[in-house]
């Protein structure tokens, strides 16, 4: 395999999680009697541009289908994050009723609804029908398609060009990252700004966040390769912010190479941090598999000991990262009888691979378990705040990444 960005031969292995189904392929009861497709889940590192990427097995239209079950509006914390972003960008860029905002992978309209409320013209680009329909119901115009250079060019020709293009947790999801970025360059206004948010590879490495690896994530990004990808498309990064979301993310600000936006000191600072963290050294990537194995062993010991002691353990949060963790560890309903989740699109279904049933949050109260394993550890505080009654009745919350911890 060659690097998706620079076409260098890939030989440096980063992580091998075996075989797994797509992490958002939740199953119905009928599906349990049918064959289930799994793909190898392996990650390689390019030693030229340092883009970390999955091996090519699953096609993007196999992963993001009409019945895609992830709806961004489920998390109150994520809604608040989106609202803060819209306010910040409206003030920073002076957005108004004459501006034009485009969100790539706009999901169910969780973010663009804020621009609609403030009468800032906007457009969502979203390939999955289930979420696109939810956005349209909110009065948000949506193009149902995968974004790339062809669509970016088409939208630019139809006009207007975008004063702001944004993509929150989509940049890692695109198989052809060069074509996707070229589409941004085609659609961006002369002085327009693009912002991408994505989980930072530096945090993944530092905190053993291997459960953020799944087929829908084709790339695991740091600032260095993003600068290279932008440059190849005629864009440049002029600012970057470090965010606490998803266990530690970056928000990069870009513009056309010819635009007048001045680079901030944040760019050089984060680049220096990445060098110090070893993200441009092969040894950093060679030792990561052992750390993932340690997390796996810690979780299995906990679940097996709890079962031997007659303690009950249930899960909370049918998140993609939870599917990666459970399938890598080989955990099934015998060790984790059910998982609660607040998303109506998931309730009544089963986790892919592990076939653990997904139930409504009320099932937690009825079960009164000894332990609640929070799979989306990045929103652990939110989960505990919403389930204070469980703690008051003796339940203990647990996370498994970066190591087993009782909270």
What residues make up the domain containing 337? 302-406
Which residue, of 233, 255, 285, is where some domain finishes?
Answer: 285
- Domain contains 200: yes
How far apart are alpha carbons 350 and 114 in whole angstroms?
33
Q: For tokens 């207007």, name the residue.
A: 160
Structure tokens at 353: 């691979």
Which residue, of 253, 285, 317, is where some domain finishes?
Answer: 285
Specify the 3-state DSSP secondary structure of 194: strand
Question: Is the peptide bond prior to 160 cis by the omega test (within 30 degrees of 0)?
Answer: yes
Same domain, 88 and 207: yes
- Cα 322 to chain centroid, rounded: 12
How far apart are alpha carbons 51 and 66 in whole angstroms?
29
What pLDDT, on a 0 to 100 scale, did the predictor assign at position 23? 87
The low-confidence residues of the chain, meaning pLDDT below 50, are 63-69
What pLDDT, on a 0 to 100 scale, did the predictor assign at position 9? 97
**b/e sequence 351-387, b meaning 16+ C-beta within 10 Å:** bbbbebbbbbeebbeebebbbbbbbbbbbbebbbeeb
pLDDT digits (tens, 9 = 90+) for 318-359: 999 999 999 999 999 999 999 999 989 899 999 999 999 999
Same domain, 270 and 134: yes
Same domain, 263 and 177: yes
Same domain, 267 and 142: yes
- Taking Cα atoms as reference points, which of 114, 113, 98 lies closest to residue 163? 98
Phi/psi at 95 (5° precision): -70, 145
Same domain, 350 and 226: no
Same domain, 95 and 175: yes
Same domain, 349 and 210: no
Report whether 176 contacts 53 (CB < 8 A).
Answer: no
What pLDDT, on a 0 to 100 scale, did the predictor assign at position 313? 98
pLDDT digits (tens, 9 = 90+) for 386-406: 999 999 999 999 999 999 999
Which residue, of 250, 285, 320, is where some domain finishes?
Answer: 285
Report whether 136 contacts 142 (CB < 8 A).
Answer: yes
CATH at residue 347? 3.40.50.720
Same domain, 241 and 132: yes
Same domain, 368 and 264: no
What pLDDT, on a 0 to 100 scale, did the predictor assign at position 68? 47
pTM of the model: 0.88
How far apart are alpha carbons 309 and 388 in whole angstroms?
25
- The number of distinct structural domains making up the chain is 2
Neighbours of 231 (CB within 10 A): 14
């Amino acid at each position: 395999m060659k690097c998706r960005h620079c076409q260098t031969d890939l030989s440096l292995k980063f992580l091998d999680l075996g075989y797994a189904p797509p992490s958002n392929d939740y199953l119905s009861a009928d599906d349990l009697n049918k064959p289930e497709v799994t793909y190898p889940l392996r990650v390689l590192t390019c030693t030229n541009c340092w883009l970390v990427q999955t091996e090519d097995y699953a096609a993007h239209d196999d992963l993001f289908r009409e019945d895609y079950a992830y709806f961004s509006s489920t998390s109150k914390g994520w809604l608040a994050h989106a609202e803060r972003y819209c306010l910040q960008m409206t003030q920073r860029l002076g957005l108004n009723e004459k501006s034009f905002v485009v969100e790539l992978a706009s999901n169910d309209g969780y973010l663009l609804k804020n621009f609609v409320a403030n009468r800032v013209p906007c457009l969502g680009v979203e390939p999955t029908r289930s979420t696109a329909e939810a956005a349209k119901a909110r009065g948000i115009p949506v193009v149902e398609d995968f974004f790339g250079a062809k669509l970016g060019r088409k939208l630019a020709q139809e006009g207007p060009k975008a004063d702001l293009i944004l993509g929150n947790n989509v940049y890692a999801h695109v198989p052809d990252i060069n074509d996707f970025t070229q589409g941004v360059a085609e659609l961006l206004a002369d002085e327009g700004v693009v912002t991408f948010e994505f989980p930072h590879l530096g945090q993944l490495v530092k905190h053993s966040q291997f459960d953020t690896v799944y087929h829908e994530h084709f790339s695991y990004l740091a600032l260095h390769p993003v600068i290279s990808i932008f440059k190849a498309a005629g864009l440049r990064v002029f600012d970057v912010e470090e965010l606490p979301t998803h266990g530690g993310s970056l928000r990069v600000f870009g513009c056309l190479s010819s635009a007048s936006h001045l680079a901030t000191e944040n760019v050089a600072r984060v680049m220096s941090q990445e060098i110090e963290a070893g993200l441009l050294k092969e040894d950093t990537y060679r030792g990561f598999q052992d750390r993932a194995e340690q997390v796996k062993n810690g979780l299995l010991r906990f679940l097996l000991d709890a079962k031997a002691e007659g303690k009950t353990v249930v899960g909370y949060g049918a998140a993609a990262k939870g599917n990666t963790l459970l399938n890598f560890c080989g955990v099934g309903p015998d060790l984790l009888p059910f998982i609660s989740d607040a998303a109506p699109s998931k309730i009544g279904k089963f986790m892919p691979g592990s076939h653990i049933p997904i139930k409504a949050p009320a099932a937690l109260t009825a079960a009164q378990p000894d332990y609640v394993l929070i799979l989306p550890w990045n929103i652990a505080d939110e989960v505990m705040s919403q389930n204070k009654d469980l703690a008051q009745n003796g339940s203990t919350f647990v996370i498994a990444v970066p190591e087993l911890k009782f909270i």
